[in-house]
Amino acid sequence: AGGGTDSVGRIFASLLERDLGKPVNVVNRTGGSGVVGHTAIAGARPDGYTIGILTVEIAMMHHQGLTRLSGASFTPLGLINFDPTAIQVRPDSPYAGLGELLNAIRAHPGKLKASGTAQGGIWHVSLCGLLHEQRIPPGAVVWVPSNSNAAGLLDLVAGGVDLVPGSHPEGRSLIDAGKVKSLVILDEKPSRLYPNVPTGVQAIGTRWTMGAWRGIGAPRNLPKAIEARLQAAVRKAYESKDYEDFMNQRGFGLRWAGPDEFAAYMAKADEQLGGVMKAVGLAK
């Protein structure tokens, strides 16, 4: 409760309720690095009365041996959000940019510490992928597991770690308060929240991008009429001014993909994440 997925789920539930004319209740199913929630969606009766938010973890969990579920285990209804990785440091950090940070990691492997999610979570994998792309051993940065990006950022402020990869919406309050600063956003487009933060291309010429995403999905084998009705309702909610205003106010990234495109998006993410996790020893 209170996290990004919960917040997005609640605004989306209210918009779906308005369109469908039926109560849409939000039920948080936490645990197992996302396994519990995704299993509840995949295992529900395919009658249209249970839908849920599919998150980036569905492209990661089976590579870790946590579940057999993948994006193909669901009926995709639409991608509704994407937040790319940014890298945060303390304001007094000696690293003025991503290039200087990476040079320090190369020069002193094992000295710098990072946090922001559990071991093998999306922000850990994203950092490992960047280091791997830059031909730096991922183990050159010591990963300190945390329960959330917020916990990792507080550890950063306290001096326990040196950098925290995560999204700008997650770091917004501490960035705005001047407690942390953002070195880079690993996306092709500038940050909507902080347009002056350099992109990966501007910083070091990298087009590496990975981040957290959310979409709406249902169990497989929905009746076609129900599937079509839910797909239309999801798109209408996404295109509403209420949803756009909500996402803009909180700094969440808007990104749409229809059912077929969302299925292809999940498959591509699965391949990308699986490749990185295998390359850096995070997959089983």
Q: Give the helix/strand (H/E) hosting 271.
A: helix 259-279
Residues 6+ apart with CB under 8 A from 241: none
Question: Within a 13 Å sphere around the CA of 124, how many CA atoms are in the beta-carbon half?
Answer: 24
Residue 135's region, left for phi above 0, alpha for psi from -120 to 50, else beta, is left
DSSP assignment of 74-97, as one string? EEEEEEEEEEE-EEEE-TT-S--S
- In this predicted structure, what is the pLDDT of residue 240? 98
Nearest to 246 by CA among 16, 84, 12: 12
Give 211-244 pLDDT, tens digit per residue. Answer: 999 999 999 999 999 999 999 999 999 999 999 9
What whole-number distance in Å separates Cα of residue 189 and Cα of residue 41?
33
Give 73-91 pLDDT, tens digit per residue. Answer: 999 999 999 999 999 999 9
When the pLDDT of each residue in the chain is averaged and rounded to a whole number, the result is 95
- In this predicted structure, what is the pLDDT of residue 164? 98
Percentage with pLDDT > 70 across the chain: 100
DSSP β-bridge partners for residue 81? 214
Percentage with pLDDT > 90 across the chain: 90
Q: Kindly indicate the confidence band of residue 190, based on its pLDDT and cuts at 50, 70 and 90.
A: very high
- In this predicted structure, what is the pLDDT of residue 251? 87
- In this predicted structure, what is the pLDDT of residue 3? 77
pLDDT of 258 over the 80 cut:
yes
- In this predicted structure, what is the pLDDT of residue 127? 97
- In this predicted structure, what is the pLDDT of residue 151? 92
Give 128-175 pLDDT, tens digit per residue. Answer: 999 999 999 999 999 999 988 999 999 999 999 999 999 999 999 999
Amino acid at 87: I
